[in-house]
Amino acid sequence: MSFLDIQGLSLKAGATEILRDVSLQLERGQVLGLIGESGAGKSTLALAAIGFLKPGLTIAGGKVSLDGIDLVAASPDELSKLRQSKVAYVAQSAAAAFNPFYRLGHQVTELRALRDGIGGSERRQLAAELFARLQLPEPDRFGLKYPHQVSGGQLQRAMIAMALLNNPELIVFDEPTTALDVTTQVEVLKVIRQVIAAEGCSAIYVSHDIAVVSQVCDRIVVVRNGVMVEANETRRIIDSPQTDYARALVASRSTSDFNRETSDTQILIEGRGLDLGYGSVRIVENVDITVGRSEIVALVGESGSGKTTVARAIAGLLVPRRGSVTLSGIRLAASVDDRNDDQRRRIQFIHQLPDVALNPRQTVRAVLARPLVKFMGLSGADLEERLRGLMAEVELPAALLDRYPGALSGGQKQRVYIARCLAAEPDILICDEVTSALDPLVEESILSLLWHLNQDKGLGMLFITHNLGVTRRFTDRVVIMERGRIVESGTTKAIFAAPGEEYTKRLMLAEPSTRAGWLDERIASGD
Amino acid sequence: MTGKINLSLILSSGTLALFVVLALFAPLAAPYSPTEVLTNPYATPSVDHWLGADTLGRDLLSRSIYGLRYTLGISLFVTVVACAIGVTLAILAAVRRGWIDVLIGRTVDAIMAIPQIIFALIVLAVAGVSLKTLVGTMIVLETTLFFRILRASAGDIAVMDFIEVARLRGETLRWYIFREILPNLAPTLIAEFGLRFAFASLFISALSFLGVGIQPPDADLGGLVRENALAISAGKVAPLFPAIAIAMIAVSTNGIVDFLIRKYSVRGELQA
């Protein structure tokens, strides 16, 4: 019998089926990848494997057994004993999972203090050992820090340390790198790989990024709408996926280029000598940036490099300390409040998260109608016609016009948001990480929508991203930022063919790939 | 929804509706004139005088019905005006921030630092007791409470990206208030409005009980309790009736508010 054996598992939330008839096995020492879109049920499945159901879920049928223990029949006491000794869970956002009030060393060793009553010096020593195993800096002193005093990558590693505390036989990693940028992601992935190898434990790795999963896992299970679509060894899935859905997932990482042909170089918007900051903190120093008509310019960098800050200054949301922004050669007021309606209309800004950028109490119709009324002066039948036209442009059914954002999917919300920007008939779109919160297939469809808009309407775009794969395929020119300065810029082709700066190279190498051995190379190179 | 919630809703709205109808049609509903001496002081309830008579022998039921007019009318007026001012100031402060926020916020803090009843007593003592002063003072005090709670909620909403989108579009303050922020404040607002209405009715009753509210021969419910308060030591029931009416207003308002909050938050979940 397998170490973990799930047979015909079905879960329900009320009357809704969350998982349907899922069967999978995991042997000791194996790593299983669960991949699928958000809401596919992959986290739910991974948690069920360690005997945990989110509140409101009920088992509608099937069996879960771990090391011969029947988890469905187990009492709460037995489950809690199991969780203290055999299994561990690493959550997606370490920043949200740690209590900001306690020192890391204290939190990481809490379970042993509760279970075995160890205290004081023994706890400190234990914490130091764990931190050393995860290659955290100054392991003896690291435990004295509070969560806010360490970086995102270090915090995620501290959480993995906590998982190792009870020498588990099975670790569930629930999207452990999704919230991190590429360079930090590599740092954490390396540690995960080394830890699994050193401990010899089994693991379930949940992610929507097929490249990441392919680097860490022996086997991959593809989940969609609560059903197992495909399960096979990693290389088989990557090299010869059997189902359409798996094929699309694999392809999303390697899709060929959008056919970029830069023609027009007439400068549309220009930021010159921008010095930006909040309060006494200086974030961006002396940045020059231009976007031409029908040109897509990528602004790339790690989180905290200042790329969003630059975009906000161009949009007039942040008043620069020094420097100016011009639109078609005319200098703009520093604050959007002082610009005129026509200038506001011509520059449209797309936020990262449509969830908070659409008012939850306004229907799609109200959202789209406002710019049409304010900027275009439409009303009555003209307004209605244009509303339907906009929905068609972003490939949404007109029936959605009377829905509230809460009743739309993530991709639909982003489309509504794009439609709102289009309503103003802008010259330039500032896209702030518009696809990073989306699943790969949805990301692909949004990119292709933006690309068509760029081709058909000659829209210029400032495309802020930390995803170099998208940058390479989608943009004409790249500007690379590190700690508030531009380190390198040039045409996308030239930069990707021959990156000039160390930082650029590091970013490129950190971009996950489905290629066999990519992570091993990263570990070997030691950067 | 369970049956229990509906029962409390039916009782609450029934009570309040009855009170409102009585208050609106007081001249028709009251069996006698509220100011005419008709029988012995503190006459016990009888077929002719359902609630008995007050300290001067006036019909207590008629006086209570007219008293409802004052209590409900003033509470409602004060709450509506205070709510409108409080919401506007709260959203203005949350959107504009800077010195406007500080100015309004600190002024409100200063007023709130003084206990409500003391503040009202001082103002009424200095300016003299009149209906205008009374209502004005209550509006100022209630506005501070509306502002305090709505400023916090509006602050949470004002940092959302969709507010930034409105700013990018160059919207006016009116638009911010009515289209972007107010709809999102609705659940808080409904709860707060009901609560403040209940407290306003208690407040006006308390002021009248202390003798600085509605002046004789007119009386609101609090005034009626005051007039007849001495009777309680003689074992008479007269002051209990208006006191019970005050309590019923407060309790049934809360019953309705509870229902609305639940209904609204369930709808909110479906939408969100």
pLDDT tens per residue, range A99-139: 989 999 999 998 888 888 888 888 999 999 999 988 888 88
Domain-embedded: residue B61: no
Does an H or E element contain A173, and which? Answer: strand A170-174
Chain pair A-B, CB pairs under 8 angstroms = 59
DSSP state at residue B136: H
Looking at residue B184, its amino acid is: N
Domain-embedded: residue B25: no
Residue contact B184–A359, C-beta within 8 A: yes
Give the residue among A75, A72, A71, A51 at the shortest CA–CA distance from A61.
A72
> Does the fold of domain A268-359+425-524 match that of domain A4-252?
yes
Nearest residue in B to A373, CA atom? B169
Among A359, A363, A376, A403, which would you mutate to test the B interface (most chain B Cβ atoms within 10 Å of its Cβ)? A359
Domain-embedded: residue B4: no
Give the residue among B220, B229, B239, B209 at the shortest CA–CA distance from B26.
B220
The arithmetic mean of pLDDT across residues B106-130, rounded, is 92
SS3 A444: helix
Per residue, the 3-state secondary structure of A94-154, as one string, reads HHHHCCCCCCHHHHHCHHHHHHHCCCHHHHHHHHHHHHHHCCCCCHHHHCCCCHHHCCHHH
- A88, with CB counted inside 10 A (0-12, 13-18, 19+), is buried
The arithmetic mean of pLDDT across residues A275-296, rounded, is 89
Q: Hey, what's the torsion of the CAs at A332, A333, A338, A341, to 10 degrees?
A: 0
The arithmetic mean of pLDDT across residues A135-164, rounded, is 88
| CATH code for position B233 | 1.10.3720.10
Percent of chain A exceeding pLDDT 90 equals 36
Q: Name chain B contacts of A317, Cβ cutoff 8 Å.
A: 164, 167-168
The arithmetic mean of pLDDT across residues A237-256, rounded, is 80
Domain-embedded: residue B9: no
Domain-embedded: residue B7: no
Q: How far is A63 from chain B (nearest CA, A)?
A: 33
pLDDT tens digits along A410-469: 888 989 999 999 999 999 999 998 887 778 888 888 888 898 888 888 899 999 988 888
Residue contact B272–A360, C-beta within 8 A: yes
Number of C-beta neighbours around residue B133 at 10 A: 16
Above 50 in pLDDT, residue B17?
A: yes
- Taking the Cβ of residue B170 and every Cβ of chain A, the question of whether any pair is shorter than 8 Å is answered with yes
What kind of fold does domain A268-359+425-524 have according to CATH?
A: Rossmann fold (3.40.50)
Q: How far apart are CA B30 and CA B7, in angstroms?
A: 29
Nearest to B169 among A344, A353, A361 (CB): A344
Q: Are A103 and A143 in contact (CB under 8 A)?
A: yes
Q: Are A430 and A311 in contact (CB under 8 A)?
A: yes
Q: How far is CA A253 from CA A438, A493, B73, in A?
A: 14, 19, 68
SS3 A367: helix
pLDDT recorded at residue A345:
94
pLDDT recorded at residue A173:
93
The arithmetic mean of pLDDT across residues A491-495, rounded, is 88
Domain-embedded: residue B162: yes
Question: pLDDT band at B269, cuts 50/70/90?
Answer: very low
Residue contact B161–A406, C-beta within 8 A: no
Nearest to B160 among A356, A371, A406 (CB): A356
Above 80 in pLDDT, residue A328?
A: yes
Nearby residues of A183 by Cβ (< 8 Å), 6 or more positions away: A302, A506, A507, A510
Please state whether beta strands A87-90 and A170-174 pair in parallel, antiparallel, or not at all (unpaired). Answer: parallel
pLDDT recorded at residue B271:
33
Residue contact A362–B183, C-beta within 8 A: yes
Looking at residue B20, its amino acid is: V
Q: Hey, what's the torsion of the CAs at B17, B23, B29, B32, to 10 degrees?
A: 150
The full length of chain A comes to 527
Nearest residue in A to B162, CA atom? A357
Q: How far is CA A216 from CA A32, A233, A235, B227, in A?
A: 9, 12, 12, 83
Q: How far is A179 from chain B (nearest CA, A)?
A: 20
Nearby residues of B70 by Cβ (< 8 Å), 6 or more positions away: B204, B214, B218, B219, B220, B221, B223
Above 70 in pLDDT, residue B104?
A: yes
pLDDT tens digits along B172-205: 888 888 889 998 888 888 888 998 999 999 999 9
The stretches of A349-439 forming alpha helices (DSSP H) are 354-357, 364-376, 380-393, 410-423
Q: What is the complex's ipTM, to 2 decimals?
A: 0.76
Above 70 in pLDDT, residue A255?
A: no
Number of C-beta neighbours around residue A259 at 10 A: 7
- Taking the Cβ of residue B179 and every Cβ of chain A, the question of whether any pair is shorter than 8 Å is answered with yes
Number of C-beta neighbours around residue A344 at 10 A: 23
- Taking the Cβ of residue B159 and every Cβ of chain A, the question of whether any pair is shorter than 8 Å is answered with no
DSSP state at residue A407: G
CA distance from start to end of chain A:
41
Above 70 in pLDDT, residue A263?
A: no
Nearby residues of A55 by Cβ (< 8 Å), 6 or more positions away: none
Above 90 in pLDDT, residue B85?
A: yes
Domain-embedded: residue B42: no
Question: pLDDT band at B48, cuts 50/70/90?
Answer: confident
Number of C-beta neighbours around residue B170 at 10 A: 19
The mean pLDDT value of chain B amounts to 87
Longest dimension (CA), chain B: 73
Q: How far apart are CA A170 and CA A164, in angstroms?
A: 10
pLDDT recorded at residue A262:
60
Query: Vertex A214, ends A208 and A218: CA angle to 5°?
Result: 120
Q: How far apart are CA A408 and CA A392, in angstroms?
A: 16
- Taking the Cβ of residue A339 and every Cβ of chain B, the question of whether any pair is shorter than 8 Å is answered with yes
Q: What is the total count of domains within chain B?
A: 1
Q: How far is A151 from chain B (nearest CA, A)?
A: 25
Give the lowest-confidence range in A378-382, A511-515, B94-98: A511-515
- The reported pTM is 0.78
For B188, the domain range is 73-267
Q: Name chain A contacts of B180, Cβ cutoff 8 Å.
A: 359
Q: How far apart are CA A215 and CA B152, in angstroms?
A: 47
Domain-embedded: residue B90: yes
Domain boundaries, chain A: 4-252, 268-359+425-524
A4-252 under CATH 3.40.50.300, yes or no? yes
